[in-house]
């Protein structure tokens, strides 16, 4: 009897693994193998021999400047995205708004968090470009010259503003479950002890949410740092960030050095791994708090 049960369990387990086989193949072909190819290529010269020259070239001033610009844009968009997304999520979950508001906002956030690339760049150029809809309306109706203030959609803050279109919705999607996990009893207990709303958030809610907030910030940083299609379609070569420099090394006619491009990608992988690792660690801590 026990032997037949064991055989049945093994058969069930084998069918379960068969169900995830497409995902495992997808991860192998489109994630693991390309990543290994990038790592190996970063330590090879055009002849295929081992070299550290590509890694050493990453410390050139021009390449370090590109990394620094990318890091600053990622930090700015992640910070602003966290603040705006957190306030929206708090208003939706805990602000007493009608329940029917939540569903459209969550649906829009799910769509907008994946909206990027050429369509997003075109949308912002058509909206905030020199002859964009909002730019023209501000000029003709309010007499306000947006570009007279020094703003440029092709600049640092222009790209940061564009990234916020998918950073804010992503923050809403991730932080909403954490806000749902705040127990009503905690707020009631704080009120019974004489705590004001500000004191409750400062001493109870925010310390509990802090790991989730820091983890989401790290995830938004990685999400922005690896974005290339939106930046390239929006700014072209006017803003020298790492993804655009990498694209120029891989596909360009002038700056054509594929193995330096592999090294640039390898550096990006290391940075995003640190950010994603921080996110996973903080999320685990947050889940322990919620329990």
**Tokens at residue 146, please?**
């947006």
pLDDT of the residue at 290:
63
Going residue by residue through the chain (291 aa), what tens digit of pLDDT does each one get?
555 555 555 555 567 778 888 889 999 998 899 999 999 999 999 888 999 999 999 999 989 999 999 999 999 999 999 999 999 999 999 888 888 899 999 999 999 998 888 899 999 999 999 999 999 999 999 999 999 898 999 889 999 999 999 999 999 999 999 999 888 888 889 989 888 888 999 998 998 898 889 989 999 999 999 888 888 888 877 788 898 888 888 776 556 788 888 999 999 999 988 888 888 888 777 777 666
DSSP character at residue 256? -
Write out the two tokens for 160. Answer: 């940061």
pLDDT in the model for residue 64: 93
Provide CB contacts within 8 A for 38, sequence distance 6+: 262, 265, 266, 269
Strand partners, 50: 44
Structure tokens at 27: 């991860």
- Burial grade of 208 (CB within 10 A; 0-12, 13-18, 19 or more): middle
Q: How many CB atoms lie within 10 A of CB 146?
A: 19
Q: Write out the two tokens for 284.
A: 């685990």
pTM of the full structure = 0.86
Of the candidates 220, 225, 229, 232, which has an alpha carbon nearest to the alpha carbon of residue 268? 225
Per-residue tokens: 255: 């700056």
Half-sphere exposure of 124 (CA within 13 A, CB side): 25
Number of other CB atoms surrounding residue 123 within 10 Å = 14
Q: What contacts 165, CB < 8 A, 6 or more positions away?
A: 112, 115, 120, 123, 124
Question: Nearest 5°: phi and psi at 44?
Answer: -125, 150
Q: Residue 250 in contact with residue 258, Cβ under 8 Å?
A: yes
pLDDT number for residue 150: 87
Say how far apart CA 55 and CA 43 lie, in whole Å: 7
Nearest partner of 270 among 242, 250, 249, judged by Cα:
242
Give the CA distances from residue 3 to residues 8, 16, 146, in Å, rounded to whole numbers and listed in that order. 9, 20, 77
Between CA 81 and CA 218 the distance in angstroms is 11
Give the other-Cβ count within 10 Å of 205's Cβ: 18
């Amino acid at each position: 009897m026990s032997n037949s049960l064991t055989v049945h369990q093994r058969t069930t387990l084998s069918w379960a693994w068969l169900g995830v086989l497409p995902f495992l193949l997808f991860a192998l072909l489109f994630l693991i193998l390309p990543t290994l190819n990038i790592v190996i290529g970063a330590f090879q010269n055009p002849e295929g021999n081992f070299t550290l020259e590509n890694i050493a070239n990453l410390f050139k001033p021009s390449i370090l400047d590109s990394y620094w610009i990318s890091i600053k844009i990622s930090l700015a968009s992640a910070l602003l995205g966290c603040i705006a997304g957190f306030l929206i999520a708090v208003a939706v979950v805990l602000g007493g708004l009608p329940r029917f508001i939540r569903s459209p906002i969550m649906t829009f956030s799910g769509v907008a968090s994946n909206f990027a690339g050429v369509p997003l760049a075109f949308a912002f150029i058509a909206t905030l470009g020199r002859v964009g809809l909002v730019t023209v309306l501000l000029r003709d109706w309010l007499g306000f010259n947006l570009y007279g203030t020094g703003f440029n959609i092709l600049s640092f803050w222009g790209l940061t503003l564009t990234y916020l279109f998918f950073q804010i919705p992503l923050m809403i999607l991730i932080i909403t479950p954490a806000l749902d996990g705040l127990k009503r009893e905690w707020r009631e207990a704080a009120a019974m002890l004489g705590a004001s709303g500000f004191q409750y958030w400062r001493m109870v809610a925010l310390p509990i949410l802090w790991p989730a907030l820091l983890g989401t910030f790290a995830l938004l940083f990685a999400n922005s740092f690896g974005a290339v299609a939106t930046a390239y379609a929006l700014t072209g070569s006017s803003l020298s960030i790492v993804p655009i420099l990498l694209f120029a090394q891989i596909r360009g006619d002038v700056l054509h050095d594929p193995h330096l491009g592999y090294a640039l990608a390898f550096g990006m992988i290391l940075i995003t791994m640190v950010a994603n690792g921080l996110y996973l660690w903080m999320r685990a801590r947050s889940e322990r708090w919620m329990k």
